[in-house]
Amino acid sequence: MQYDIVIVGGGSAGCVLANRLSADARREVALLEAGPDTPAEHMPLSLYDASFLPDYFEPTRYWTKLEAYMDPIGNKTPEELAATTKARRYEQARVLGGGSAVNGQVAIRGIPSDYDEWEAMGATGWSFKDCLPYFNKLERDLDFDGPYHGKQGPIPIHRIFPPDWGGLSIGFRDEVVRRGVPYVDDCHAHFGDQVFPFTRNNAYLHRVSTATGYLDGATRLRKNLHILGGSFVDSLVFEGRRAVGVRVRRQGKTETILGREIIVSCGAIHSPALLMRAGIGPGDHLKAMDIAVRLDRPGVGANLQDHPLVGFGLHLTPEGRMAETLRCNFLMHMRWSSNFEGCAATDMKLSISNRFAWSRMGHRLGTVQFGPNKAYSKGFVRLKTSLPDDEPLVAFNLLSDPRDLGRAKYAARYVYDILMNSPVKAMYHEVWPGIYADSVRNLQPQTKLNELKTNIAAYLLDLGGPARRFVLDRAINRRYGIHAIIKDEKLMEEWLREGVQGDWHACGTCRMGRADDRMAVVDPVGRVHGLDGLRVIDASIMPSVPCANTNISTIMIGEKLADAIAGQAVAAS
């Protein structure tokens, strides 16, 4: 099987590449996805459309659940991590559309300084001015027009404005405005500190992933586009220094698929793992894995970044809840400046989830989530074994940079002050440190049994007193009290280190940069330094994590590099 382009991974970037590169009928394009090819008409829709669909889909088909180590100090070796640190689950999508098919549908771009920093770090041509045309190209903004908005793209952008917000979101909006953070309707046209409605890749209450937006019916009719779901790539195939194909397990058989150019688009966790299994990466580590070193590039798997996320959970009063008819729970988002030494402006984020889940119990619970939006902690991805079926070792090292830990403490105190000393206090019965508890997450799948359990829990919550305490004692971790962690610096740090989690914004592990930068893996058009016929195009090539959920930035990367490959540049305005 011979193609011009072989794309390994049908995620947020891979689907974009498949669409744009197959637009030229002379180019044969193969898109390989380890998970199922699930066209829009066959995608099950959650009744609660902002839920994270791993808890709704069949996990073994739609997710790979790998272990992620959150070393808060950041000084353990891979061996020490595996032996001494408790792993947490960190889901990665395994379905056509990737993260865009299962995430919270947040479509925030970030701010100009994010992309100007990329260029300063060696990603020539990736300033905000260079990226803006591709942000506009991907989107169809349903609310706004103008130079910062696209109107013709495949991904709809939609907002829910304050008149439809729940009481908790409105209360927080009003209080932060009173404290000096301005409200804007449109975060894509205004930068700096601000509070605003979430932008979402959603139209008419339905998710639009890259699988549905870019691989629509007309695109799938192209005879030169070959979408091969259920295709697990074991390895890359080389002739000398040139990548010429991939070894694939598909439909119970192993076959070799050849391509003039191979594009790895497996995400920030699995793209570096695939490269390392092919002998591309840190030489000492590859030798330890008994892998022949094809290219000693220490940046492969390094520079792993994510947004450290912590927060408070709330049992909402009726005034604090959102309308039961509103399906989206992500309503209010804020970015603001900590003014900490050594930190960029507009470096913090806060978001309100005005409902926790689809159920009656979930309707009574909310969260306030916060942390560094411009994160500085870095981790790594390494192989556990050379076997393709073994998930890699992933160490995020969240809060290992003192600036991240210090700002997480600051944000906790900032939010606590709002909760205790503003009209927001009328919006909840009780508040506690922490966001996700397994006991609550396990109730998210929409089953008859869970509906019965959560209806009973909702009734007991509304009774108050001992009945409410009975439910909350089983739903949350009572080890930390919110007043205690604010008063005790040591206890707060213990809570943060134990409870911090990634925000599913992994990036940076095959970063762009100059060829003479040993920690850079690819050049500004995604070509792997030192090899031919091989590119990486996904969130792994980001030099640093943007001040935003990474999905829209990843789609933009797919658009920009599809243009680079096709030789058609969109003029920067």
Q: Compute the distance between CA of residue 570 and CA of residue 573 in angstroms, rounded to an integer.
A: 9
Query: What does residue 388 show for φ and ψ, rounded to 5 degrees?
Result: -65, -25
Largest CA distance in the chain: 72
Place of tokens 């610096």: 489
> Are the beta carbons of 140 and 212 closer than 8 angstroms?
no
Q: 360 exposed, middle or buried (CB, 10 Å; 0-12, 13-18, 19+)?
A: middle
Q: Compute the distance between CA of residue 407 and CA of residue 341 in angstroms, rounded to an integer.
A: 10
Q: Where are the alpha helices (DSSP H) in 421-488?
A: 438-441, 448-463, 465-475, 482-487
> Are the beta carbons of 273 and 509 closer than 8 angstroms?
no
Q: Compute the distance between CA of residue 222 and CA of residue 522 in angstroms, rounded to an integer.
A: 30
- CA distances to 16, 379, 530 from 21, rounded to whole Å, are 8, 33, 24
What single-letter amino acid sits at 366?
A: G
Residue burial 36-72, b: 16+ Cβ < 10 Å; e: rest: bbbbbeebeebebbbbbbbbbbeeeebbbebbbbbbb
Residue burial 389-422, b: 16+ Cβ < 10 Å; e: rest: eebbbbbbbbbbbebbbbbbbbbbebbbebbeeb
Count other C-beta atoms under 10 Å from residue 327's C-beta. 19
Report DSSP letters for 253-275, one per residue: EEEEEEEEEEEE-SHHHHHHHHH
**Which entry of 315, 363, 505, 529 is annotated as an active-site residue?**
505
Gyration radius (Cα) of the chain, Å: 23
> Are the beta carbons of 114 and 135 closer than 8 angstroms?
no
> Are the beta carbons of 210 and 12 closer than 8 angstroms?
yes
Q: Compute the distance between CA of residue 349 and CA of residue 337 in angstroms, rounded to an integer.
A: 9
Place of tokens 């580590």: 285
Residue 553's closest CA among 109, 75, 125, 33?
A: 109
The helix (H) or strand (E) run that includes residue 130 is helix 128-138
Residue burial 73-91, b: 16+ Cβ < 10 Å; e: rest: ebebebeebbeeeeeeebb
429 is known as an active-site residue: no
Q: Please provide the distance, in angstroms rounded to a whole number, between the alpha carbons at the two ends of the chain.
A: 42
Active site residues: 505
